[in-house]
Amino acid sequence: MIGVELAKLFRRPRTYVIAALLCALPLTVAIFLATTRIPPPPGQGGAFLSAVLSNGALYPAAAMALVLPVFLPVSVAVLAGDAVAGEASAGTLRYLLIRPVSRSRLLVAKLISLVAFVLFAIVSVLVTSYLTGILLFGVSTSSAGVALPPDVTSLSGVTISPAGLALRLLGTVAYIVISMLGVAAIALFLSTVTDSSLGAAMGALAVLVTSQVLVTLDAAAAIRPYLPTRYWLAWVDFFRDPVLWRDIERGAGIQLVYLAVLLGAAWANFLTKDVAN
């Protein structure tokens, strides 16, 4: 069943369109930066952006910072919201279930295909933005290593080896996958509740937007640590020297709790649900 879900994911033009859109955003930004050479002031306009002008190898990290707050979660919410509801309204859900595919296995396969999508999207963005960075900004440092940007590390002059950079990027990917799984879990749960893909995606986005707003609201400080988007940007800490693990650990922990609770709810709901359309 997992193979079938992956085949469905990668045979769908939609998957590539979304990935292409995700790649297009950093590309557009890079073109503007490279032609004007006007860097955003440090600490503004997205992490790393001011640093990439001097070092294109950091551009993948900057690209992550660009797609993460809105673009990536929106696409994950759309796909996850469609996962069950889309099959239900297309009439294919009932034919899968009488194949038979057990409802639990179907849900697991859907989740795995969402992970595959997130990985595919992130890797696409990393690869295209790495190439963009190298081509448009060049690599400033020689084989000595990559200098971490001062606005992130607050320690200028620290350099890490290319292998170290790759390792930190790997950590970043893993952390973003976990964060996006939290989004996927919200939308997947809603997708088992309603038969409308759009409704499920909108519901998940509403949760995320609300969470984003509350994160910045001092009056909501009491619940801030438990908001799903609170630690989304904690992966930036992978680029500090030494790596600052505190927020990364908390963020991953919170996402895992959300994941467990929502998947449990999705599972309980789907297993007892009438498939009546």
Spatial CA neighbour of 52 closest among 121, 146, 127, 115:
146
Binding flag, residue 96, another protein (CB under 8 A):
yes
Helices within 138-222 (DSSP H only): 150-153, 162-193, 197-215
Out of 28, 44, 102, 140, which residue is the one contacting another protein (CB under 8 A)?
102
94 binds another protein (CB under 8 A): yes
Window 243-272: contact mask with another protein (x via CB under 8 A): -----------------------------x
- Tell me: does residue 112 bind another protein (CB under 8 A): no
Calculate the dihedral angle through the C-alpha atoms of 79, 83, 86, 92, rounding to the nearest 10 degrees: 140
Question: d(Cα 70, Cα 136) in Å, to the nearest integer?
Answer: 25
Does 101 participate in binding another protein (rule CB under 8 A)?
yes
**Site for another protein contains 274 (CB under 8 A):** yes
Contacting residue, 100, 157, 216, 242, with another protein by CB under 8 A:
100
Task: Report if residue 188 touches another protein, rule: CB under 8 A.
Answer: no
**Residues that contact another protein, how many (by CB under 8 A):** 25
Q: Which is nearer to another protein, 4 or 265 (CB)?
A: 4
CB of 264 to another protein, least distance (A): 20
Q: Does 28 bind another protein (CB under 8 A)?
A: no
Give the residue, chosen from 35, 38, 91, 144, that forms a contact with another protein under the rule CB under 8 A: 91
| Cα-based distances in Å from 123 to 144, 236, 267 | 26, 17, 29
Determine, following the binding rule CB under 8 A, whether residue 1 of this chain makes contact with another protein. Answer: yes
CB of 95 to another protein, least distance (A): 5
Largest interatomic CA distance in the chain: 63
CB burial of residue 43 (10 Å; 0-12, 13-18, 19+): exposed
| 32 binds another protein, rule: CB under 8 A | no
C-alpha–C-alpha distance, residues 230 and 49, integer Å: 22
Does 93 engage in binding with another protein (CB under 8 A)?
Answer: yes
CA distance 186 to 207: 8
Closest to another protein by CB, 98 or 144 = 98
The DSSP result for 18-62, as a single string, is HHHHHHHHHHHHHHHHHHH--PPPTTSSSTTHHHHTT-GGGHHHH
Residues that bind another protein (CB under 8 A): 1, 3-4, 7-8, 11-13, 90-102, 272, 274-276
